[in-house]
């Protein structure tokens, strides 16, 4: 009767387990110790006999972290079946147990809940205190069964199933050696062996890259992947880093290293620059074997510097020009070459003309014009005061050219021709009294612009003119001509004619010397720079003496 009951109980448990296995998803997570919630979850613990208890651990062990007590009564067998995750691959089972005596403790595995194989057995008259166990599981294991038979009471705890994962590489170091910049990428192939894993591939140095960004796949065992590692030669230098393959708690690091070298280049500068004139254009012709443009440096940019391969001269002096080629990503710097350049001042190429001036103008008024070279600067007279007024005529004078940029040009003296024209003079004879009386002298109103003495000519000798005073001597009509013939500095004037009518005189003989009182009442006038007195029809000098 008892045996029939036990057999029926086993059959019912198997049927229930199969149904649960088909309808429920696996719940026990990999690499995680079972908790109280797992024990009380029907999707994790899919079958158990009636004597399996999850809340009354033996000897106070377990609590929320134990399966609890499997009580064995008489000849009963008691067991508990848990299901593993349906994805992944089993690796190891670890657990701890504590139990009584006179019985057998068995832990079994199965891929399908039907075919069981033991992975651990303990039996005999023993009493174990918290024995820890680690066993390997078949990779297709999906179910675990914990069982006790005969009169044994046992508690299981610390139950954990690890998932099989592995990751390894054929090498942990790949030195690439040396290469030249711009060479093709160096390539190394590494065999990566993996099991049940998806790992990301990355590089810690941008000069190294991998052909794949991920490696692996779930639920496959002992697979290999060929990973190509590339070393770029785009940048010179010594490079090192790691190709990191990591995922799901596994990691492989492959140390990579390499060196990329630049090409050497040489600088050639066969030009003999020596010395030059400040106005010269000096084109430099150094060249690098790399074909890269040469850079020039000046020891004193205040004297000369180089722009686009041409020496830009600031002033005369001595400067050292150094040709360099500092290199680039592909070429090393070239050995520099230095040359000394002596710069001398230039003589300005100029010509000077001086416009004619007229007598009476100071030399400073002469307009000097520079031509030919058109060098900016100033012109000045040498050894002659600019305020000088030269007589009319032709002169050969010396001028000094002072350049504005004295750092580039020398000063220069030169001969110039200057012509001084004769001045024009004009004569005006207005307001003249023409009705005269014999013996009554009057001043001439004729005025010459130059201030020179006027020349008078007469058609009849009826009067005399001296010092600008007209003295009628005989009655009659006379034509008087006023003019100046010119001299070394003045041109002749035009001729001015005035007709005089002279009447006989009846005036008393005038006095020879004016008294002081008469001088006060006499009319004063200025002629040719002299002061004269006019009194009672006669002309007297400034002292009052009559002019005959």
- Establish if 293 belongs to a structural domain: yes
Residue 449 above 90 pLDDT?
yes
pLDDT in tens, 277-327: 999 999 999 999 999 999 999 999 999 999 999 999 999 999 999 999 999
Q: Are residues 357 and 464 in the same domain?
A: no
- Establish if 320 belongs to a structural domain: yes
Q: Which residue has the higher pLDDT, 494 or 10?
A: 494
Mean pLDDT of 378-389: 94
Q: Are residues 71 and 153 in the same domain?
A: yes
Q: Which residue has the higher pLDDT, 14 or 313?
A: 313
- When divided into structural domains, the chain yields a total of 5
- Establish if 343 belongs to a structural domain: no
| Confidence class for position 525, pLDDT limits 50, 70, 90 | confident
| Confidence class for position 166, pLDDT limits 50, 70, 90 | very high
Residue 36 above 70 pLDDT?
yes
Residue pair 286/352 in contact (Cβ under 8 Å)? The answer is: no
Mean pLDDT of 194-198: 96
**CATH code at position 144:** 2.60.120.260
Q: Which residue has the higher pLDDT, 74 or 257?
A: 257
Q: Are residues 11 and 133 in the same domain?
A: yes
DSSP three-state, residue 496:
strand
| Confidence class for position 360, pLDDT limits 50, 70, 90 | very high
Mean pLDDT of 191-199: 97
**Distance in angstroms (rounded) separating the CA atoms of residues 38 and 64:** 10
Sequence-separated (6 or more) residues with CB below 8 Å from residue 138: 90, 109, 111, 117
User: Residue 363: which domain range?
Assistant: 350-421
Q: Are residues 281 and 196 in the same domain?
A: no
Report the pLDDT value the prediction gives residue 509, as an integer from 0 to 100.
Answer: 59
Residue 194, classified by CB atoms within 10 Å of its CB into exposed (0-12), middle (13-18) or buried (19+), is buried
DSSP three-state, residue 205:
coil
Beta bridge partners of 92: 136, 162
Mean pLDDT of 495-515: 82
Q: Which residue has the higher pLDDT, 497 or 72?
A: 497
- Establish if 181 belongs to a structural domain: yes
Report the pLDDT value the prediction gives residue 64, as an integer from 0 to 100.
Answer: 35
DSSP 354-407: E--EETTS-GGGPPEEEEES---EEEEESSS-TT--PPSEEEEEEEEEEES-TT
| Confidence class for position 18, pLDDT limits 50, 70, 90 | very low
Q: Are residues 206 and 80 in the same domain?
A: no
Sequence-separated (6 or more) residues with CB below 8 Å from residue 185: 230, 231, 232, 233
> pLDDT above 90 covers what percent of the chain?
68
Q: Are residues 505 and 453 in the same domain?
A: yes
Q: Are residues 192 and 313 in the same domain?
A: no
Residue pair 434/500 in contact (Cβ under 8 Å)? The answer is: yes
Sequence-separated (6 or more) residues with CB below 8 Å from residue 369: 352, 353, 354, 355
Residue 514 above 90 pLDDT?
no
Q: Are residues 240 and 190 in the same domain?
A: yes
Residue 227 above 90 pLDDT?
yes
Q: Are residues 170 and 159 in the same domain?
A: no
Q: Are residues 159 and 16 in the same domain?
A: yes
- Establish if 59 belongs to a structural domain: yes
Residue 251 above 90 pLDDT?
yes
**Distance in angstroms (rounded) separating the CA atoms of residues 250 and 228:** 20
- Establish if 546 belongs to a structural domain: no
Residue pair 284/332 in contact (Cβ under 8 Å)? The answer is: no
| Confidence class for position 2, pLDDT limits 50, 70, 90 | very low
Q: Are residues 11 and 159 in the same domain?
A: yes
Backbone angles phi, psi at 199, to 5 degrees: -125, 145
Residue 212 above 60 pLDDT?
yes
Give 3-state DSSP helix, strand, coil % of the chain, rounded to 5: 5, 50, 40
- Establish if 344 belongs to a structural domain: no
| Confidence class for position 8, pLDDT limits 50, 70, 90 | very low
**Distance in angstroms (rounded) separating the CA atoms of residues 114 and 117:** 10
Q: Which of 213, 231, 261 is the last residue of a domain?
A: 261
| Maximum C-alpha span of the chain | 206
Average pLDDT of the residues of the chain: 87
Q: Which of 106, 128, 163 is the last residue of a domain?
A: 163
Residue 517 above 60 pLDDT?
yes
Report the pLDDT value the prediction gives residue 164, as an integer from 0 to 100.
Answer: 96
| Confidence class for position 100, pLDDT limits 50, 70, 90 | low
Report the pLDDT value the prediction gives residue 330, as an integer from 0 to 100.
Answer: 95
| Intra-chain end-to-end CA distance of the chain, in Å | 198
Residue 20 above 50 pLDDT?
no
Q: Are residues 400 and 498 in the same domain?
A: no
pLDDT in tens, 321-331: 999 999 999 99
**CATH code at position 485:** 2.60.40.1080
> Positive or negative, the Cα torsion across 457, 460, 464, 470?
negative
| Confidence class for position 72, pLDDT limits 50, 70, 90 | very low
Residue 144 above 80 pLDDT?
yes
Residue 259 above 70 pLDDT?
yes
Residue 33 above 70 pLDDT?
yes
| Confidence class for position 427, pLDDT limits 50, 70, 90 | very high
Q: Which residue has the higher pLDDT, 548 or 354?
A: 354
Q: Which of 157, 142, 150, 148 is nearest to 121 (CA)?
A: 148
Q: Is 38 left (phi over 0), alpha (psi -120 to 50) or beta?
A: alpha
| Confidence class for position 156, pLDDT limits 50, 70, 90 | confident
**CATH code at position 242:** 2.60.40.10
Report the pLDDT value the prediction gives residue 153, as an integer from 0 to 100.
Answer: 65
pLDDT in tens, 51-65: 777 764 443 333 333
DSSP three-state, residue 20:
helix
Q: Which of 261, 285, 317 is the last residue of a domain?
A: 261
- Establish if 273 belongs to a structural domain: yes
């Amino acid at each position: 009767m008892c045996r029939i009951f036990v057999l029926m109980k086993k059959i019912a448990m198997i049927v229930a387990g199969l149904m649960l296995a088909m309808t429920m998803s696996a719940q026990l997570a990999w690499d995680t110790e079972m908790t109280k919630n797992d024990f009380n979850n029907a999707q994790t613990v899919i079958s158990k006999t009636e004597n399996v208890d999850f809340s009354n651990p033996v000897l106070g062990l377990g609590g929320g972290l134990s399966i609890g007590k499997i009580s064995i009564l008489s000849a009963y067998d008691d067991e508990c079946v848990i299901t593993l995750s349906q994805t992944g691959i089993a690796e190891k089972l670890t657990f701890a147990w504590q139990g009584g005596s006179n019985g057998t403790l068995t832990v079994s595995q199965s891929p399908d809940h039907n075919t069981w194989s033991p992975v651990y057995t303990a039996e005999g008259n023993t009493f174990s205190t918290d024995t820890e166990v680690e066993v390997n599981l078949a990779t297709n294991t999906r179910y675990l069964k914990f069982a006790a038979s005969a009169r044994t009471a046992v508690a299981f705890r610390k139950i954990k199933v690890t998932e099989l994962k592995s990751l390894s590489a054929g090498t942990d170091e790949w030195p690439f050696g040396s290469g030249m910049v711009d060479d093709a990428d160096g390539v190394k192939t590494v065999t990566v062996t993996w099991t049940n894993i998806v790992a990301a591939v990355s590089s810690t140095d941008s000069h190294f890259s991998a052909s794949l960004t991920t490696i692996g796949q779930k639920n496959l065992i002992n697979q290999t992947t060929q990973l190509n590692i590339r070393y770029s030669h785009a940048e010179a230098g010594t490079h090192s880093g790691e190709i990191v393959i990591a995922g799901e708690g596994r990691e492989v690091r492959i140390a990579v290293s390499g060196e990329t070298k630049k090409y050497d280049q040489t600088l050639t500068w066969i030009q003999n620059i020596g010395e030059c004139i400040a106005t010269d254009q000096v084109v430099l012709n150094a060249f690098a074997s790399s074909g890269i443009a040469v850079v020039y440096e000046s020891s004193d940019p205040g004297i000369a510097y180089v722009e686009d391969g041409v020496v830009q001269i600031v002033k005369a002096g001595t400067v050292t020009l150094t040709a360099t080629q500092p290199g680039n990503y592909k070429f090393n710097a070239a050995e520099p070459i230095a040359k000394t350049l002596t710069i001398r001042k230039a003589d300005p190429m100029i010509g000077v003309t001086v416009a004619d001036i007229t007598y009476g103008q100071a030399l400073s008024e002469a307009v000097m014009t520079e031509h030919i070279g058109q060098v900016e600067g100033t012109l000045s007279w040498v050894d002659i005061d600019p305020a000088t007024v030269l007589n009319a005529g032709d002169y050969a004078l010396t001028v000094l050219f002072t350049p504005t940029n004295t750092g580039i040009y020398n000063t220069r003296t030169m001969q110039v021709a200057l012509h001084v024209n004769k001045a024009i003079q004009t004569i005006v004879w207005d307001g003249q009294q023409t009705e005269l009386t014999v013996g009554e002298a009057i001043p001439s109103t004729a005025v010459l612009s130059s201030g020179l003495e006027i020349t008078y000519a007469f058609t009849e000798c009826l009067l005399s003119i001296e010092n600008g005073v007209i003295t009628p001597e005989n009655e009659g009509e006379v034509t008087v001509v006023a003019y100046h013939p010119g001299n070394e500095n003045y041109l002749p004037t035009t001729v001015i004619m005035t007709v005089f009518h002279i009447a006989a005189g009846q005036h008393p003989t005038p006095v020879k010397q004016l008294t002081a009182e008469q001088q006060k009442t006499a009319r004063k006038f200025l002629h040719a720079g002299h002061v004269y007195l006019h009194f009672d029809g006669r002309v007297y000098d400034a002292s009052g003496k009559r002019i005959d």
